[in-house]
């Protein structure tokens, strides 16, 4: 994955750090452009190697935009702590990823993505997974982003 250059090189972190931020973030924000204005929404996400998966309804503004303009940016923050250490600042860990949204149509891949999403967010409730899939698979869209490039940074307390 290509590491994008950033202004604050003293805070730049490597790919492993970026992936760890993504994995540890409770949610991420996907940003897209509809040809007229930007549109960004929070998503529940999970990563498998260099692919990000998320689920959504099969209709709506996000779907319409991604069908026409699949290029996206995903940002994640795994730590954010306002502090005063002689000045007001925030300690943080963040990462940004770029890629193209792809609508997953293969049923096996959809089930795989939903399973790892559930394992991330509700690991103690996996006994309900099979019945949930039977109820929701046909009305759930899975979208994946194969990560092409990233940037990540960390600001530590002094």
Task: Say if residue 4's pLDDT is above 80.
Answer: no
| Burial class of residue 116, CB neighbours in 10 A (0-12, 13-18, 19+) | middle
pLDDT band at 12 (very low <50, low <70, confident <90, very high): low
CATH architecture designation of domain 1-153: Roll (2.30)
Q: What is the pLDDT of residue 84?
A: 84
Which residue is listed with tokens 């954010």? 80
Q: What is the pLDDT of residue 9?
A: 59
More confident residue, 33 or 82: 33
pLDDT band at 64 (very low <50, low <70, confident <90, very high): very high
What does the pLDDT look like over 97-138, one tens digit per residue? Answer: 999 999 999 999 999 999 999 999 999 999 999 999 999 999
The set of residues, in sequence order, having a beta carbon less than 8 Å from that of 98 and lying 6+ positions away, is 4, 71, 72, 73, 74, 147, 148, 149, 150
Q: Domain limits of the chain?
A: 1-153
* Entry pTM: 0.90
More confident residue, 29 or 3: 29
């Amino acid at each position: 994955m290509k590491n994008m250059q950033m202004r604050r090189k003293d805070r730049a972190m490597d790919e492993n750090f970026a992936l760890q931020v993504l994995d540890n973030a409770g949610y991420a924000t996907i940003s897209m452009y509809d040809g007229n204005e930007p549109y960004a929404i929070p998503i529940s996400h999970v990563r498998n190697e260099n692919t990000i998966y998320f689920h959504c309804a099969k209709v709506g503004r996000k779907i319409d935009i991604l069908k026409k303009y699949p290029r996206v940016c995903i940002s994640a923050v795994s730590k954010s702590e306002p502090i005063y250490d002689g000045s007001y600042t925030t300690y943080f860990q963040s990462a940004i990823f770029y890629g193209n949204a792809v609508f997953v149509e293969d049923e096996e891949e959809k089930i795989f993505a939903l399973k790892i999403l559930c394992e991330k967010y509700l690991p103690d409730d996996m006994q309900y997974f099979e019945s949930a899939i039977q109820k929701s698979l046909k009305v759930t869209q899975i979208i994946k982003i194969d990560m092409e490039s990233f940037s990540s940074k960390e600001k530590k307390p002094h």
